Amino acid sequence: MSANTEPLISLLVIDDNPSSLDLLSSALKQEDLRILTAEDPIQGLDLVRKYHPQVVVTDLVMPNMNGLEVLDRIMATDPSTSVILMTAHYSTESAVDAIKRGAADYLNKPISISGLRERVNNLLEYSRRRMRAGQLQSELLDTSGMEGMIGNSPAMWDLFSKIRRIAPHFRTVLITGPTGTGKDLIARTLHRLSPVSKGQFVVVNCSAVVETLFESELFGHVKGSFTGANTDKIGLFEYAHEGLLFLDEIGDMPMSTQAKLLRALQNQEIQRVGSLTPRKVNVRVVAATHQDLRTAIAEKRFREDLYYRLTMVEIRTPPLIERSGDLPLLIKHYVAQFARQYGKTIVGLAPRAEIVLGRHSWPGNVRELENVIGHASMMASTERIDVPDLPEYLRSGEKGGSDASSIQPNETGLSSLDEQERKLLSEALAQSKGNQSEAARILKIGRDALRYKMKKFGLDSTTAPL
């Protein structure tokens, strides 16, 4: 490491005994590791806020503030920090209390230097892996997108490829998929990549237009054609001439207007309400819906001939549950976006918040995720979004479960979040038939982290689901 390069990994030792500080600093010294020391817990917390060390080793009994209070303050500042407590007054009750409050370990004095070094090295290696993963995600984020759409899953690469092939040639496109999957982004991307990219991009939300005014909105009207028509009005088709018209939620378009839309698409001409003169237009049309239009056809709510005109090219947007591998990329993207918007320094999520988001089914898809990260970024008071920052329905569980952010123990001696984490670990071990590497892949964590959590919850490779 050059003299001008600051190490990315830091370790803080807090102990009111200067001899212990010297001993531990010397024993834990390694290349590319910044060792910080503090004889006073208040000074130690100042160093935590300044340097955000990945690992903190602290004595339990100290003047001014004990180690458990230090632990609580650190967990409030950055819950991703690994805190090891040391004490000459070990008891099972105090150890359980410390672990429940977020400690990575609770060691009895006199400390085994070799044991401490191994434990610290494992935690530091886990931090390095998380840091490398974050760097790789940042690089991946730079290359895993298209015109503002984020994704690296097979479903998204297939979508990107289809858009590129379609954009230069389409006249009409139908985009289908659940609400919140980004159909509007696809429409804008098709416009930007099309030959009419310099023309207007005009949006019509079909579910928001009053039925009696639909025809006038799309095709315009002439003065005196109906009560209130005091002047000639250009319609959105004419306004979008040499550009693109996006008909969002086309499944809500009235049947009477659908017939006139079909003629406009077939002939590339429109007729203003009250006029006998057709007008030629050159408009590319993208329609979108979350409805099943075949069902709407069967129920006589949508014209079959219009459906086939629109589906000359059809694009389906995948729900987030079909592209769960994109979740970390999307989270990173939205955290950076809202951190800039709110003027905050937010570097990511605490591990337990990642667990909560990872187990959610995301019925609202990417739009729901964006709202969740926006809410959490606004509420966050530290550099990492934690469970209490998430919306209440995520913390409580979709079916009214207990608050996942609670640290209060129940009859099992574990917090509700700990119980959920233990259940996830148990299920992953059972699914992988005891293969720890496979279980770690299922949970998207490192093997060292898996082994630490197994030890924390008293699990072994033969553990069955709860």
Q: Convert the pLDDT of each residue in 121-170 to its tens digit.
A: 888 888 887 777 666 666 655 656 777 788 888 899 999 999 999 999 99
Supply the CATH classification number for the domain 154-316: 3.40.50.300
CB-based contacts of 254, cutoff 8 Å, min separation 6 = 211, 214
Structure tokens at 296: 């709407």
pLDDT at 406 over 50: no
Residue 111's pLDDT is: 82
Chain-centre distance for alpha carbon 175: 23
pLDDT band at 410 (very low <50, low <70, confident <90, very high): very low
Distance CA 450, CA 434 (A): 12
Q: Do domains 9-141 and 154-316 have the same CATH topology?
A: yes
Predicted pLDDT at 307: 96
Helix axes 183-192, 154-166, angle to 10 degrees: 40
* Residue type for position 420: Q
- The answer to whether the predicted template modeling score (pTM) of the entire model surpasses 0.75 is no
Mean of per-residue pLDDT scores for the chain: 84
In this predicted model, what pLDDT tens digit does every residue of 23-51 receive, in sequence order?
A: 999 899 888 899 999 999 999 999 998 88
- Across the beta sheet with 314-316, the strand order is 201-205, 243-248, 283-289, 172-176, 314-316
Which tops the pLDDT comparison, 407 or 434? 434
CA dist 49 and 264 (Å) reads: 64
Residue ranges per domain, the chain? 9-141, 154-316, 322-457
Instruction: Give the class (CATH, top level) of 322-457.
Output: mainly alpha
pLDDT at 222: 85
Mean pLDDT over 284-292 rounds to 96
Q: Identify which of 75, 155, 268 has the alpha carbon closest to the alpha carbon of residue 85.
A: 75
CATH class as words, domain 9-141:
alpha beta
Residue 229 predicted with pLDDT over 50: yes
Distance CA 263, CA 195 (A): 23
Higher pLDDT: 217 or 140? It is 217
The DSSP secondary structure of 80-99, one letter per residue, reads TSEEEEEESS--HHHHHHHH
CB atoms within 10 A of CB 248: 20
Greatest CA span in the chain, whole angstroms? 97
